[in-house]
Amino acid sequence: MKSAVILFPGSNRERDAARALRDASGQTPAIVWHGETELPAGVDLVVLPGGFSYGDYLRCGAIAARSPVMGAVRRHAERGGLVLGICNGFQILCEAGLLPGVLMRNADRRFLCRMQHLRVENAQTPFTRGYAAGQVVRFAIAHGEGNFEADDATLEAIEGAGQVAFRYCDAEGRVDDAANPNGSERNIAGVFNSRFNVLGLMPHPENLIDPLVGGADGRPMFAALAA
């Protein structure tokens, strides 16, 4: 698998993403600057990493979503290429219109930085086929604006189409208000586009690839993408 990690001014998780991809695939991903207008030839997967692109100016991800490289990312997605947006990358994909909804300030206004259980909702995609549907995984979260919002019609549509990828839950897999860290509609932590080749999620699977640093629940995602 040939992958590329996009680097925006203010990205700060690009090395974590690159390491997870390298460990899974044996190939070092290209790091692509946001001012580029083309992706390297033959790229299968584009990762938009976490961070604070453009200092979260205007709205999180808003300016990055309009940067030159996003035209190439959009064309890649339209060709059926895989795109993974993590945390700020998820915000950028929503702002770019490549994913439904928007990420708002956490309902309790706090920046959250801790471990969080998630339930895998759809395990039949290139990103999630290393998991079982209903499986509970533990990823890290680190965000101030992860409160997923969309109008009711959009929520019904993505629920009906199986586009909800992950939901916040407790250790037993219960999805309820008590397990919702940021006020997201229906505890949604990650969504696919309608073709299931674009995934955005607030939690950080790329930080859970080594038992030495807290667990390896993120590995199956990168292993599935690399396979």
Partner 1 sequence: MKARVVVTLKGGVLDPQGKAIEGALRSLAIDGVASVRQGKVFDIEIEGGDRERAHKTLSEACERLLANTIVENYAIELA
> Between 11 and 50, how does the x/- string for binding to partner 1 read (CB under 8 A)?
----------------------------------------
Single out the residue of 22, 105, 129, 138 in contact with partner 1 (rule: CB under 8 A): 105
Are 95 and 210 a contacting pair, CB within 8 Å? no
What residue has token string 């990358």? 89
Shortest Å, Cβ 83 to partner 1: 20
- The CA-CA-CA angle for residues 169, 171, 175, to 5°, reads 20
Residue type, 123: A
Among 29, 49, 85, 101, binds partner 1 (CB under 8 A): 101
Which one of the spans 100-108, 157-165, 167-175, 219-227 is the region binding partner 1 (CB under 8 A)?
100-108
Cα-based distances in Å from 38 to 71, 199, 225:
8, 21, 22
In terms of CB distance, is 22 or 105 closer to partner 1? 105
In 3D space, the residue among 200, 204, 170 whose CA is nearest the CA of residue 187 turns out to be 170
Task: Kindly state the tokens that stand for 131.
Answer: 């998991």
By the 8 A CB rule, do 61 and 94 touch? yes
Q: Smallest distance, Å, CB 70 to partner 1? A: 13
**Catalytic site residue 149?**
no
Tell me, yes or no, if 206 is annotated catalytic.
yes
Nearer to partner 1, 120 or 198 (CB): 198
Examine residue 88 and tell whether it contacts partner 1 (CB under 8 A).
no
